Amino acid sequence: MSASETLPVTTAPRSRAFTGRVTQRRVLRSEWTKLWSLRSTRWSLLFAFLAMAGLGPLIAAVTVGHWNRLSPHDRATFDPINTALGGYHLAQLAIGVLGVLVISGEYSTGQIRSSFMAVPHRLPVLWAKAGTFATVTFVLMGIASLIAFFGAQAILTQQHVNVSISHAPALRAIIGTGLYMIVLGVFAMSLGALTRNTAGGIAIFAGVLFVLPGLVHVLPASTFDAINPYLPSNAGADVLSNTTDPGMLAAWTGFAVFCGYTLLALAASALLLVRRDA
């Protein structure tokens, strides 16, 4: 049934042919369209993908090329998993910035009013944004980290320092990368919703992820030891790291803490989204 037949442009209101209601599934489709129809999304995701997939193998190739000149200590501490997945340090910047933009971009342009006029309950918009962005991030970062892992191990076979994916922490670290990126993205998105401002959202994101870890170093050692493992960046990164430093939380414990922070931020943004004037 073609809608143009059933729905002339100027039907009287009472004879309307469609009366579709707003559902969460429909809002998800709408947000999917919104996500991919922006150039900034495509560039950010491409950048994150290339960084995640390419940086690890690149570092592996450089390391292998210099292997004979490395000190015994360097060789002993060389970690084939962390090297392969090292691209996450860069990729997380792109994912975080995009996460903030997913919402703050709507506020800066006024689009948010159009969005809320279509979905006046508002929360379905937030859930749909989180859902679509998380799915895209997980799939892309999951694939990228697989490429990074196998690419890097293929290069590392030249010096026989590679590991197999069946090596216990390897698979966890690969899946962990995708999971970490999801939670990080949703965390950034919540900051975008809380600040309603691109610059502010990105500043807080960068502050929490990149500045806070440096800042706690100036605290007294005992305080530092107590706080450091619980920083979002440290707690979150536990799950995608091969080795766990003695002072840090266990992989999944750390990830749970990271999820906790994100849920708090998301809950706060949901509360304010409904209460504040748009």
The encoded tokens of residue 23 equal 């559902």
In the set 78, 116, 210, 230, which binds other proteins (CB under 8 A)?
Answer: 116
Closer to other proteins at the Cβ: 12 or 168? 12
Shortest Å, Cβ 29 to other proteins: 5
CA distance 169 to 176: 10
Binding mask 20-59 for other proteins (x = CB under 8 A): xxxx--xx-xxx-xx--xxxx-------------------
Shortest Å, Cβ 270 to other proteins: 15
Closer to other proteins at the Cβ: 38 or 70? 38
Q: How far is CA 268 from CA 131, 178, 201, 254, 261, in A?
A: 17, 24, 14, 22, 11
- CA count, 13 A, side-chain hemisphere, 34: 23
Closer to other proteins at the Cβ: 118 or 211? 118
CA distance 243 to 67: 21
Identity of residue 71: S
Q: Does 278 bind other proteins (CB under 8 A)?
A: yes
Q: Does 168 bind other proteins (CB under 8 A)?
A: no
CA distance 183 to 176: 10
CA distance 174 to 111: 36
Give me the residue label for tokens 């392969």. 84
In the set 65, 75, 111, 219, which binds other proteins (CB under 8 A)?
Answer: 111
Shortest Å, Cβ 82 to other proteins: 37
Do 141 and 52 contact (CB within 8 A), yes or no?
yes
Shortest Å, Cβ 259 to other proteins: 29
Which residues bind to other proteins, rule: CB under 8 A? 2-4, 7, 9-14, 16-23, 26-27, 29-31, 33-34, 37-40, 105-106, 109-111, 113-114, 116-121, 277-278
